[in-house]
């Protein structure tokens, strides 16, 4: 997720702040949101093997294609009067982005991060099935092969609980960081 944030937020802020860069990157990124990301799995397996690097790349790709457009939209949602007034007080375009647009967009960007984490929890189940020799994926896959459906459901339940705890934790953090957004 940290890699998703490190790439997705800056690219989304740049796209939301610059119509020209958005016009260049949007045709590359927007169609990927509609594509079933699981269909990219065989390509990633061919390029990266079936190890952890492939799994991390799969999770990153699955989330970043959603995070970037959501961050872009958060930046675009900043009221234009603040953007227009920034140069009047001497702000350069970069200062306008860094000191005006980005801070005002941060609560919605945090919402986008929460959604991206949820997406990664969705895809982690798929990633765990590939070459699973330890962990929950291995337990679920082995239990499925042996028809121990109670263990399959238990493994899935663990993933759901972890996803729920993560979501609740991020929402609590957002309420603490941006209390005006949650009132």
Q: Which domain holds residue 82?
A: 2-182
More confident residue, 66 or 129: 66
DSSP character for 141? H
Residue 19 CA to residue 69 CA, distance in Å, equals 13
| Residue 98: pLDDT over 80 | yes
Average pLDDT score over the chain: 89
The domain spanning residue 78 has which CATH number?
1.10.3720.10
Q: pLDDT tens digits, residue range 27-83?
A: 988 888 888 888 888 899 899 988 889 989 999 999 999 999 999 999 999 998 888
Q: Give the pLDDT of residue 33.
A: 82
Distances (CA, A) of 106 to 6, 26, 174: 14, 21, 10
On whether the CB atoms of residues 139 and 94 are closer than 8 A, the answer is no
User: 10 Å Cβ neighbour count for 74?
Assistant: 24
Residue 183: the pLDDT is: 63
Note the pLDDT of residue 111: 96
Query: Token pair for residue 80?
Result: 């234009």
Distance of CA 57 to the CA centre of its chain: 12
Give the number of domains in the chain: 1
Alpha carbon distance 24, 44 (integer Å):
25
């Amino acid at each position: 997720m940290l890699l998703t944030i490190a790439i997705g937020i800056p690219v989304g802020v740049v796209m939301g702040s610059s119509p020209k860069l958005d016009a260049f990157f949007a045709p590359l990124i927007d169609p990927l949101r509609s594509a079933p990301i699981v269909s990219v799995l065989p390509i990633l397996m061919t390029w990266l093997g079936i190890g952890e690097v492939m799994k991390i790349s799969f999770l990153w790709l699955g989330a970043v294609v959603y995070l970037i457009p959501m961050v872009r939209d958060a930046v675009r949602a900043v009221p234009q009067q603040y953007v227009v007034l920034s140069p009047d007080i001497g702000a350069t375009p970069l200062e306008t982005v860094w000191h005006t647009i980005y801070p005002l967009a941060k609560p919605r960007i945090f919402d986008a991060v929460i959604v991206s984490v949820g997406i990664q929890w969705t895809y982690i189940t798929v990633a765990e099935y590939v070459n699973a020799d330890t962990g929950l994926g291995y337990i679920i896959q082995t239990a499925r092969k042996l028809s121990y459906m109670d263990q399959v459901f238990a493994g899935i339940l663990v993933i759901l609980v972890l996803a729920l705890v993560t979501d609740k934790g991020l929402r609590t953090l957002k309420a603490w960081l941006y209390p005006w957004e949650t009132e």
